[in-house]
Amino acid sequence: MAQVAVVIPAYNAAATLEGTLASVRDQTLTDWELVVVDDGSIDGTAELVRGWSDRDPRIQLLQCSNGGVSRARNTGVAATSAPLIAFLDADDLWRPAKLAAHVAQFAAHTQLGVAFSRVAFLRADGQPTGVISSARLHRLRPQHFLEENPTCTTSSWVVRRCVFNSVGGFTVGMQYSEDLEWLFRASLQPGWEIEGLKAPLTGYRTQEGGLSADLERMEDGWQALMDRARTIAPDVVARHGAHAEAVHLRYLARRAIRLQQPARRVWGFLSRSLRCSPWLPLQEPRRTLLTIAAALLVSLRERLTRLRRGVAGPRLRS
């Protein structure tokens, strides 16, 4: 039996999957099994995976009708048997030491249920942006998964199979927050911990045209997460819901800035955040004040642009 099962859900991923598979092939730990779940692709995804499978018996292809990423991940887990499960999206990349580092982490920490690493953000072409995730790595509690995603992406996770079986699979039909909803349930499991490694062992490819660029759908996904959380652990939501909403809206404000959205949209998210938790600048001063400063710069830049346009506008003939 392999030490680690790698599960890759793929939908029309032929353009990026080659590099993703290569990053698994290049792992210093070689005792792994890998399943690509082709979720109804209509490009060359299946043919690409068959080529890899012909050359490497550790790799298998499963094909199914399109049912979404949650169902694809669950299908992949069910098709494997290794005691550790690593998830990897079809456009993300791993550093060569990724699996070896996590296997050692689990060996040293018997109460570890879910491991992850810091994430290096990549451009759409796979080149590094120089930005590394900075969320908390230790002492993670259920409320933290209602705010932001400390793990950034499922591509950074390695999970004990017994924990996955106990928590249950990803909730089919959820979008955007299906990973946080699973982590929220996992964090409620007694006796298990969720811990991160400081090293950026996962490369996360940012796709500005994807779901993470659609702020309305992101907020809708978070609301669906909170609805689920209220049925699972209403006491946690009652105590931490307002703060969680404030932090999430602050995140959307930062995201709007990165997407170069208009100032009114940035301030819309930010003002709602501060209404949810007026004490946020005192509770989390660095991130909150930096977000406010960035929002002010967006407003100033828009005002200067309007002034320049006014100065350079059409002149009346004498």
Q: What is the pLDDT of residue 259?
A: 83
Q: Note whether 145 and 259 are same-domain residues.
A: no
Beta strand pairing status for 193-205 and 112-122? parallel
**251-268 mean pLDDT:** 92
50 within 8 A of 62, measured Cβ to Cβ: no
Total domains in the chain come to 2
Residue 220 domain-assigned? Answer: no
Residue 317 domain-assigned? Answer: no
Which two structure tokens, joined as six digits, stand for 231? 């049925």
Give dist(CA 26, CA 18) in Å, integer.
12
Give dist(CA 13, CA 20) in Å, integer.
10
Q: Note whether 126 and 180 are same-domain residues.
A: yes
Residue range 46-68, pLDDT digits in tens: 999 999 999 999 999 999 999 99
Tell me which of 209, 243, 268 is where a domain ends.
209
Residue 288 domain-assigned? Answer: yes
Q: Note whether 274 and 181 are same-domain residues.
A: no
**256-268 mean pLDDT:** 92
Q: What is the pLDDT of residue 309?
A: 86
Tell me which of 175, 193, 209 is where a domain ends.
209
144 within 8 A of 116, measured Cβ to Cβ: no
Q: What is the pLDDT of residue 135?
A: 87
Q: Note whether 194 and 284 are same-domain residues.
A: no
**32-38 mean pLDDT:** 98
Whether this model's pTM surpasses 0.75: yes
**Average pLDDT over the chain, rounded to an integer:** 94
Q: Note whether 50 and 160 are same-domain residues.
A: yes
Q: What is the pLDDT of residue 316?
A: 47
Give dist(CA 117, CA 174) in Å, integer.
24
Q: Note whether 58 and 132 are same-domain residues.
A: yes
Residue 69 has pLDDT above 70, yes or no: yes
Question: What number of other Cβ atoms are within 10 A of residue 311's Cβ?
Answer: 7
Domain span at 172: 4-209
Q: Note whether 33 and 116 are same-domain residues.
A: yes
Residue range 222-235, pLDDT digits in tens: 999 999 999 999 99
Tell me which of 209, 224, 257 is where a domain ends.
209
Q: Note whether 144 and 28 are same-domain residues.
A: yes
By C-alpha distance, which of 73, 164, 154 is closest to 119? Answer: 154
Residue 225 domain-assigned? Answer: no
**83-102 mean pLDDT:** 98
Residue 258 has pLDDT above 90, yes or no: no
Residue 62 domain-assigned? Answer: yes
Q: Note whether 261 and 198 are same-domain residues.
A: no
Give dist(CA 194, CA 179) in Å, integer.
14
Residue range 205-224, pLDDT digits in tens: 976 555 445 888 889 999 99
Q: Note whether 257 and 139 are same-domain residues.
A: no
Q: Give the confidence band of 175 by pLDDT, cuts at 50, 70, 90.
A: confident
Residue 115 domain-assigned? Answer: yes
Q: Note whether 66 and 187 are same-domain residues.
A: yes
Residue 314 domain-assigned? Answer: no
> What CATH number should be reported for the domain holding residue 57?
3.90.550.10
